Amino acid sequence: MKRRFYTLLIAVLMLGWSCDDDAFLNRPPTNILTDEQIWNSEEQILSVLGDLYNRYVDISTFKTINDIPGWMTVGDFNEAFWSEAGRYNAFQNSGWDVRSWGAWDYGYIREMNLFIQKCGASEKLDAGVKARFLAEARFLRASYYFELVKRMGGVPLILEPLTYDFSGDPTYLQRPRAKESEIYDFVIAEAEAIKGDLPSNAGEKSRATKGAALAMEARAALYAASIAKYGVNTPSVMLSGGEVGIPASMSQGYYTKALAAAKEIITGSAGTYALYTKKPDLSENFASIFYDKANNPEVIFVEDYKLQSGKVHYFTGWNQPRYGAEEEEGGRINPSLNFVEAFEKLDNTFAPIPTTNATGAPIYYDNQVDIFAGRDARLAGTVMLPGTTFKGRAVDIWAGFQLGNGTIVSGDDRGAQKTLPGKTVPEQVVGFDGPIDGFEFTAQTGFYLRKYLDPVVGSGQRGVNSEVWLVRYRFAEVLLNAAEAAFELGQPAVAAEYMNMVRARAGLVTPLKSSEINFDRIVHERRVELAFEGHYLYDMKRWRIAHLIMDGNAIAPAELSKDLGKATKRNTQPYGLWPYKIYNPGSPTNGKWIYKVTRLSRVTGADRFQLGNYYSYISDDVINNNPKIVRNPNH
């Protein structure tokens, strides 16, 4: 019996012979794709490219990166106050760490280099498709080098994937920093080289086009030119090896390139781009540039978002008027009075917002919004003014009642109620959107942001979010780039022509004469047209005026409204402008509005832009790993 059992067991075990070892052990992995699978398939390559697009780096973004929510990067540098309790410290310190805005992501560069190498070696792709993919990757790589050079100065220019041989000696991988001008030259040369391989299609916004490449070239050449020209004003922001700073002699060449590249877009050789002029109300028209995604002729290159795709953002939820918002949340970016006053009157002159007349008596307005009448339409398109509407609902911004004897009746909660003298029933004495000093999410400066806010219902709802795109390049900036380059090349008539195109769209229909174009005008135009789009910091840096604008001195109320059009006007603290309603029954002023310039109690510091902020700190880790890297100046 026992024997039979063993025989059977042996027989069964012998039958349990395994069959095909190869098929059993060599299974294709289900969680990764092999090189072969990727680089021979157009769809797979496109998705790799999509990942590279997603990692594009912007200075102002809608994404939350390293716990810094995107709205902070959009509304920085005292163009706005941040109405969130945990963020007031940004207005109580005296500036920025030298590590601010640092970037050094060579992992991203390596992946772009790998893409270019592997996609270039792929044999099964259609030649036209391959050329476009390669051009797009080179566009992204040049964009990132452009971003690096703006923040860090010259960086090591690595154009092939580096591989370590595990020999114990990594010195052959250590490259020194290129000159700042060499990085700009690289960006310009790449744009020239790839523009022919990219489509000339103004309808393509989220992928690189010929227009995007030329817009990048124009901007890069302009930055390089202005660093060359204005770098002489800050001789201590320079390195003898040229890693930081560009010789002044190169400025003309760069300006010429900037103008040529911008003109190529303006003349239509990259597709039919034009200023956005679809809506009759000029302010609404300006705001629409950023949310109208149907046949928008102005926008050139964007980071696109799409509802119900997973790629959406909460910028509207962060910043829309809190009162009546989907989640009763918002109101974080409060544009400052400093910024609001920078908008010109329609006769091309600068003037403070008129709160008092010549004798110092308050001016009474029938409607809240009247005080802003007769100004650049971009003001109401960028800033949500008291008395205007959003999503069909009026914003409720007013600070309180002022009685006949000058006393203020106000409350310390949104929409607080009090009984006015001579009445018996309590009524609302402060707006549901504030302003209440130190009360987060109310319009503490008296203003909310409008630019980039999505007017679609649901855009501020957590489960829905917004699909408004982040504009990286648009036609108006190209015009301003051309205007600046032309001005610096001694062609003020050309500069005036381009600038007047942008200004006319904003309702400033009296053209500036070519004799009126000067440096202050150029700086001012970019500040108001491109506000909150990530240009302000880089513009101040390349003109070397950041340390003059933010010099660490507090702004006295008396100087706030002086020299409004001056490029180096101090901007170290955000101010507010608060509307009050007059309650004085029997008087002709009853029910009218007055405005008061307000210093916010949470703003105690004054920002100082250090010379060491012009180029960010290169971390000690980077220098330890590569001793050939020289430190940036003033660190």
Partner 1 sequence: MKVTVQLLAILLLGLGVMSCDKDNFTAPKSTLSGRIVYNGEPIGVEFNQVRMQLWQPGFGKLAPIDAPIDQEGRFSALLFNGNYKLVFPAGRGPFRTIQQDAAKKDTVYVTVNGNQTLDVEVQPYFMIRNPSFNGGEGKVSASLKLEQIVTGANAKAVEQVSLYVNKTNFVSRATNIGTTDLASANIKDLNNITMSVNVPALVPAQGYVFARIGVKIKDVEDMIFSPVQKIDL
Interface residues toward partner 1, by CB under 8 A: 93-95, 234-236, 552-554, 605-606, 608, 610-612, 620-621, 623-624, 631, 633-635
Smallest gap from Cβ 107 to partner 1, in A, equals: 20
Nearer to partner 1, 218 or 606 (CB): 606
Nearer to partner 1, 420 or 554 (CB): 554
Smallest gap from Cβ 611 to partner 1, in A, equals: 5
Nearer to partner 1, 220 or 606 (CB): 606
Smallest gap from Cβ 620 to partner 1, in A, equals: 5
Can you give the C-alpha Rg of the chain in angstroms?
Answer: 29
Nearer to partner 1, 382 or 598 (CB): 598
φ, ψ (nearest 5 deg) of residue 443: -80, 80
Query: What is the distance between the alpha carbons of residues 443 and 577, in angstroms, rounded to a whole number?
Result: 10
Distant-in-sequence, close-in-space partners of 443: CB < 8 Å, separation ≥ 6: 83, 321, 331, 334, 384, 386, 395, 397, 431, 433, 434, 435
Smallest gap from Cβ 233 to partner 1, in A, equals: 9
Query: What is the distance between the alpha carbons of residues 474 and 560, in angstroms, rounded to a whole number?
Result: 31
Smallest gap from Cβ 524 to partner 1, in A, equals: 24
Smallest gap from Cβ 541 to partner 1, in A, equals: 15
Smallest gap from Cβ 624 to partner 1, in A, equals: 4
DSSP string, 444-460: TTS-EE-TT---STTTT
Smallest gap from Cβ 177 to partner 1, in A, equals: 15
Cβ neighbours around 412 below 10 Å, total: 10
Query: What is the distance between the alpha carbons of residues 454 and 464, in angstroms, rounded to a whole number?
Result: 12
Among 535, 430, 441, 437, CA closest to 480: 535
Query: What is the distance between the alpha carbons of residues 364 and 200, in angstroms, rounded to a whole number?
Result: 54
Cβ neighbours around 90 below 10 Å, total: 18
Distance from first CA to last CA of the chain, Å, rounded?
Answer: 90
Nearer to partner 1, 235 or 360 (CB): 235
Smallest gap from Cβ 94 to partner 1, in A, equals: 4
Q: Retrieve residue 357's tokens.
A: 């007349």
Query: What is the distance between the alpha carbons of residues 435 and 431, in angstroms, rounded to a whole number?
Result: 7
Distant-in-sequence, close-in-space partners of 587: CB < 8 Å, separation ≥ 6: 404
Which value, to the nearest 10 degrees, does the dihedral of the CA atoms of residues 69, 75, 81, 85 take?
0
Query: What is the distance between the alpha carbons of residues 325 and 357, in angstroms, rounded to a whole number?
Result: 37
Smallest gap from Cβ 595 to partner 1, in A, equals: 24
DSSP string, 62-77: SS-BTTB-HHHHHS-T
Place of tokens 């500040």: 527
Nearer to partner 1, 236 or 359 (CB): 236
Nearer to partner 1, 87 or 608 (CB): 608
DSSP string, 213-235: HHHHHHHHHHHHHHHHHHGGG-T
Smallest gap from Cβ 551 to partner 1, in A, equals: 8
Kindly tell me the burial class for residue 210, based on how many C-beta atoms sit within 10 Å of its own C-beta (0-12, 13-18, 19 or more).
buried
